[in-house]
Structures are given as C-alpha cells and as structure tokens.
Structure 1
Amino acid sequence: MSTTLHLHPPFRAEHLGSLKRPAKLLEKRSAFDKKLVSAEELTEVEDEAIKAIVEMQREVGIKSITDGEFRRHMFFDGFFNNLDGMEHISEVPPHMFMEYVPDYVAFKKLNFKGADSYICKEKLKRTKPFYVPQFEQLKALTKPEEHAHLKLTLCAPEWYHLRHGDYAYDKNVYKNDEEYFADIAIAYQEEIKALYDAGCRNIQFDDPLLAYFCADSMIKGMEERGIDHEALLDTYIKTYNDCLKGRPEDLTVGLHLCRGNFRGGMHFSEGGYDRIAIKLFTQINVDTYYLEYDTERAGTFEPLRHLPRYKSVVLGLITSKFPKLEDPEELKTKIKSAAEVIANGTEKRTVEEALNQICISPQCGFASHADGNPVTEEDVVKKLSLVVKVAKEVWPLDA
C-alpha cells in the first residue's frame, strides 16, 4: 500500500452517508412494502427526495455527496440480500444468535421477537450488481463535476457472521470461516471493480461490529464460550484486506466505526478504541477512519497515537442522535487535542502535520434505519452546517 499521504476523504467537512428521510418517502416505501404501489412509483418519490437532499448538501457545503441511503431500509442493505447463496430467514430461532453480541443483547431487553436475518445456505456468488445501480442513479441526479466526489456506503463483510457465529453458514457448503470469507471477498472485489468502472472513487464501509470488539461485555461473553476474539478479529481484518485486493490507487476507501445508532438515539456498546487500535490503524488497508467521538463511551483520543502518517481520521465529534448543537470552540479544542495525540504518537510528527490528517463529521449517519433518529430535517441542516463552519475555521485554506 502507498505510504504517500493523500487526504482521504478529500474534504475536511464530512458526513456519514444516511440522512433524515422525508415523511413522503417513508409513506411511499411503506405502501410499496404492502404492495399498494409499484416500484416505478417508489423510484419516482426516491428520486425527488434525493434531488432535494443533494441540493441541501450543496447548500451547507458538504462536497462528498451521498444519496442519503434513501433507497435502503437499513444502512447495511445492498450486499448480502443480493448475494447468491444467502437465504432470508423471516424469523430466526433465538439459539442462532450469539447472545454476547451487543445489539442482540439490547434487542432482547427491548423484547424484540421474530427478528429476520440472512444465513448462507449455498456457495456464495455475485451474479448481479449490488450497489452499482444506486451509484448510477446518484450520478444521474448530480452534476458531472460532482461525480468524482460522490460517496457510496457499503455493508461490512462480516455483518452476519458475528451475529450468528457457527450458524452463519451451512457446514456442508463451507467447512470453515476461511472458505466462507474467501467467496465473500471475491464478491466484494467484483463489486468494487464494477463501482470503479462506473466512476465511483469514494466508498465507505459501515462497520459497528469492529467497535463491539472494544466492549468488555462482548469480550467477556466470547471468552466464556471459549471463542478466541483476537483470532476472530484477525479473520475479519484479513477479510477486509482480501476484499480490497487489486483496488485502484485513486479509489478512496473509508471505514466507519460506531457503537450503534438505533431508534430514539439508542446505542449498543461502550468502550474506547484502545483494545483494537494497533490492528485497526496499521493492519486494515483503508485510507481513512470515520470514528465515533461525540460522547465519553467512545473513550479518549489516545488510540490515535497509532495512526500512520499516510492515513487520515475523521473525528465524529458532532452527535447525530439528538438535536442539541455542540459548541464550536469546544469542537476546535478537541480537534487540537487529537492532533497533539497523533503528533506525539508512535510515529512522531509535528502538530501541523497531524492536523493535516484530521477531518470532522457527525458521529454516525442521521438515519441508519428508515425511521431515523429523533432529529428533524432542519436539525440535520444545522448539524451539517456546524461541521462545515468549524472545518472552515480550523482549515481555512482547504475546507
């Protein structure tokens, strides 16, 4: 991997993909799910909503434009539901969920029943595009000069594996994790190439599961079941690197970690990045990290001392869970503190050099699921405007 510093992502002010869906879109999708309207009718409303959200991003100054994930029910839609060999299970038996996974623990407390999921039942193969249509549709609704900076979010490759453990795939199809993830990696390689050929130059993996490895509760639960969590994390890291084999030099690849962003601003896990920092920053072949940092549950900036010179970090200092606006001066103080930690880290550098590796964003998207967080569309505009305002004051020459 190149050790030349490129600022990834290319802009100081970023956002994390999902945006607040308008009521009209939610109503139309609900009607579509009930088979009351056609796919064409839904697409027409999606297009209208995406045009509006693209214009909002332009107006506030966000340049790495997304479609707000308006064509998805959930942020992780797109990959496994389109992958041959995966079978949709409408009501998964409780024993097929790993009880130590933080989101499952939370759902049990909420008395969620009949959760659906996907299990591998046959050999996995990509026989149709996953995200390319979404990217092409976004291109069609944006200006040619914006196309190089359009950002598309992707599902984490280990998404269903951590959730289901030994039940993630049929042992008559794959005898071990190595075989299972090998075919997943091939599918990602093919999709990433297709996205690149379509003109995509900026992708972001959304992966709250890696942050779960920072949670003492999950580590304790895995150890009680005799699961080697270090080896499993290594498997996931290898999978990421296999997925990205052969990717072009000018394709920006980001990795977003958070601790849950569910209804009512609910989170699933807690714990700083310290436990996984060295592996996260030095072993995964991505360009930039979008990290949750809006509350104390994400820990301190200390893990950033392991950030290499040739990578960047996007500090998620602005919460997307609630409408209250952060104080700009406090945000700037935090950015400086993070730069000082990076500067005095494993690879020494000046504070100015470290500051050049930092961008800012909300801690997560505003609507990881269709319902979204308890914020209004107006709140989203205020939050993103704050991101841009602070970025321009900290980096006046290139924000």
Structure 2
Amino acid sequence: MSTPRLNPPFRAEHLGSLKRPTELLAKRAAFDKEELSPEELRAEEDKAIADIIALQREVGIKSITDGEFRRHMFYDGFFDNLDGFEYVGDVPQDWFMDYVPDTMPFKVINEYKNAASHLCRGKIKRTKQMYVPQFELLKKFVKPEEVPNLKLTLCAPEWFHLRHGEHAYEKSLYPNDEAYFADIVTAYREEIADLYAAGARNLQFDDPLLAYFCAESMISGMKEVGIDSEALLDLYIDVYNKIIAGRPKDLTIGVHLCRGNFRGGIHFSEGGYDRIAVKLFNVMKMDCYYLEYDTERAGTFEPLKHLPRDRTVVLGLISSKIGKLEDMEDLKARINHAAELIASGEEKRSKEEALNQICISPQCGFASHSDGNNVTDEDMYKKLKLVTETAKQIWG
C-alpha cells in the first residue's frame, strides 16, 4: 500500500555538522580577534567546504551539506539575524531555567559567568534573509541537478524560550507565549519560502530541546515550579506545525532530536522517546524524524510502534562522539528489529513497508560546536562510510 506523503531523505544520511579542519578553526579564531578580514575567512571556509563535499561524495553521502563550516554553533543563523532579538553578552544566572538539562551543569562549573544569549527586546520581524545566503554559497559547489540533494539545518524555534522561560521576551511587547511565537512562525515561513525558491528541498530542524521532554529531571523540575510540561510541549509542536503548514509536496522537512553533544561528547539528558512518541509522531506533522539511538540513554525502539505510515524515521545508530567503529552486522540487526516493531505497531503493515520508512545516520553531527568531538578525521570518514555501506546492505 502506498503512503499519501512519504518524503524520505536518502537512506544514508548525516546530520549537518562535520569535523572542521585545524586551519579553518585557526582562521576563525583570528577573525574573532579582528586579525582577519571577512573576505579572508570566506576564502578559508570555501576551501574547507570544497574538501568536505569531496569527502561526502567519496563515502557515498548524497544529502550534501557544507558541514556547518560557516557557523560557530549548530543553532547560529536565525535569532542572530532576526529583528527584535538582542545579543546579551552576560545573562544573569537566574535567567537560565534550572530544570533545563543543559543549564545546571554549566552553573556547577561556573561557565555562566560569560554566558550569552539572544533575547527578545523588540517586536519580532524578519527584514533580511537568514539561511538563504549559506544555501546560495553551497549551491556553487555542486552541479545544478544536485541542488535538490543539498541539505540545510535550521535552529529550533523554541531555542531561547525553553532556556530562559519568562525572561525570553518582555511582556510589554508580547502578552503571552502564543503572541510571541506568532511572529516567530511568520519569520520561519518567510525564510522557508525563500529557501524553497532558491532550490532547497531538504531542511532539518536541529532540536535537542524536544528530547529534553523525555527526561524525568526536566519534567519533575517543571512541576516543582508550577510549569505544565505537557502544555508547553503542545505549544512547541503547534509552533512547528504552523511553520511547516502548506509546504510544497516536494519539500522534505525533518526534525533532529538528541540529548546533547557538547565538548568531548558530553550529554545533558536521558530518557526514551516513550513519553513523547504519540505527540511527536501523530500530532507533529514532520516528514521525517532524526532520532538519537546510539546508546541506552535514548531507550528502546518500542516508541516507533506509534510511527504512522506517512512518516520516515532516521535511526541515529552510529556515534559521532567516540572513535570506536560500530559493527555492521549489529547495525543491520537493529534496523531489522526496528522495522519489526514498526510493522507490529498501531497501524499494522508489512515488515517490508516498515523497512521502507527507515533510514540510517550518525546520532548527531560531528561538530555541534566549532571545537568538535573526540573523533579524528579518519574516525569520521570510517563512520560515514559505514553509514552508506550499511544502507546498501539493507536497501541495495
């Protein structure tokens, strides 16, 4: 039975960020110190991106990205370019919500003394393109027929909202969360329309925050301060649905959930998808879900029983945090097990149909921040190669 809308990404995927070369890191550090011009930095970025595209081609990855080499952090690009948001270089510690899993660890090690965020201090409006310039630059490295294969990653719309709670915006500007997010939705819709016009057909929201709703620590922390976690999750899902509503049929939009991928592979939360699976798969209207599944902290495949026929799941079975290479036979066994559970789920289907809803990827990017993880260039190459070779074994 065919599905009404099944826009899978490629069977072998990677999740945007790739390990940055030492030369690029050195040039960016010099640029940050105003010792290098924008043109000189751009030239080094172009060189590094040309090389990383060649690597993606060599290992067989077709959903080509620029490795996020033009960014410091994976979430750069949206709020720093949006009118109404102000860069705050020294955010008071009590403006970071303790229940958010990635805030308390930094308070403990006293890294928030120099913490920075973009906070809403004016009416929100998109007055310039945000990600389109990055996409246009990426297009220059591929043939015209390859442009639909390019993938671009986007910041989660609730990024600063969850972290800062009531301090995320001023109540004199927006009376409530719904009004605040209404303008954010408009900005994203405008940007996605421009990306589509530029040729983008594969977009991925990077959203570790949704996975935090799987963490008992955050749910209990919210309850202690009187926040309804279910209502907040509903709000965020509604925001996403409004952003992607009415998208063209040939535009694939997915969301990536992980539990942290910071210095040395540090993670911030644990907990399976069971707590959010029904809403994630059946209320949120994404085409595909990129899910972390490389360690036990992400739980079992059981929540995949809630996956409808018209969605794709990208199983993040390969770690981007450690250099040890996974075993292909184990990966194949896990993929088949996931397909069996999907087939036996609420919407019964054949294993073959369920298998057709699955793709494979690393569990996260190899450099969510510019410093990257504790993996070598050779480790990254072997892991990406393993992704494509496993996909060939499963799907041909």
Q: What's the TM-score bracket when you normalise by the shorter of the two chains?
A: over 0.9
State the shift of 1:144 in Å.
1.7
Summarize the alignment of residues 48-127 of structure 1 with structure 2, pairs less than 5 Å apart: 48-112=47-111, 113-127=113-127
Deviations 1:88-145 (A, max 9, x none): 1001001111011000022123321221001100110000000000000000111222
Q: Which amino acid aligns with 1:38?
A: S
| Rounded Cα–Cα distance in structure 1 between residues aligned with 2:64 and 2:109 | 35
Letter in structure 2 aligned against 1:295: T
Q: What amino acid does structure 1 have at the position aligned with 2:385?
A: S
The one-letter code matched in structure 2 to 1:181 is F
Q: Distance in 2 between matches of 1:165 and 1:6?
A: 36
Q: Distance in 2 between matches of 1:41 and 1:341?
A: 52
Residue of structure 2 in register with 1:22 after alignment: 21
Would you say the 8 A contact 1:281–1:307 is kept in 2?
yes
Q: Tell me whether 1:140 sits opposite 2:135 in the alignment.
A: no
Give matches, 1:78-227, under 5 Å: 78-112=77-111, 113-227=113-227
The superposition leaves residues 13-67 of structure 1 with CA deviations (integer Å, 9 ceiling, x where unpaired) of: 0000000000000000000000001000000000000000001000000000000
Question: Are the counterparts in 2 of residues 7 and 357 from structure 1 also a CA contact under 8 Å?
Answer: no
Residue-by-residue CA offset, 1:242-262 (whole Å, 9 max, x unaligned): 111232111000110000000
Aligned to 1:31: 30
Partner of 2:239: 239
RMSD of Structure 2 on Structure 1 (CA): 0.9
Structure 1 unaligned residues grouped into runs of 5+: none
CA gap of 1:245–1:7, structure 2 versus 1, over 3 A, is closer
Compared CA separation, residues 283 and 8, structure 1 to 2 (3 A): same
Amino acid at match of 1:47: D
Contiguous gaps of at least 5 residues in structure 2: none
Tell me if structure 1 keeps the 8 A contact 2:7–2:252: no
The alpha-carbon deviation at position 7 of structure 1 amounts to: 4.1
Cα deviation, 1:219-252, whole Å, max 9, x if unaligned, reads 0000000000000000000100111123211100
Deviating more after overlay: 246-255 vs 44-53: 246-255
Which residue number in structure 2 is paired with residue 272 of structure 1? 272
The one-letter code sitting in structure 1 at the alignment partner of 2:274 is D
**Equivalent-residue separation in structure 2 for 1:75 and 1:7 (angstroms):** 24
Secondary structure at the residue paired with 1:374?
coil
- Counterpart of 1:76 in 2: which secondary structure? coil
Contact 2:317 2:331 in 1 (8 A): yes
TM normalised by structure 1 equals 0.98
Instruction: Report how far residue 281 of structure 1 moved.
Output: 0.4
Tell me the distance in 2 between the aligned counterparts of 1:7 and 1:70. 27
Secondary structure at 1:103 match in 2? coil
Q: 1:180-236: CA deviations, max 9, x gaps?
A: 000000000000000000000000000000000000000000000000000000000
CA distance in 2 between partners of 1:7 and 1:43 (Å)? 34
- Give, as a single letter, the amino acid of the residue that structure 1 aligns with 2:118: Y
Moved more, 35-44 or 238-247: 238-247
Q: What letter corresponds to residue 387 of structure 2 in structure 1?
A: V
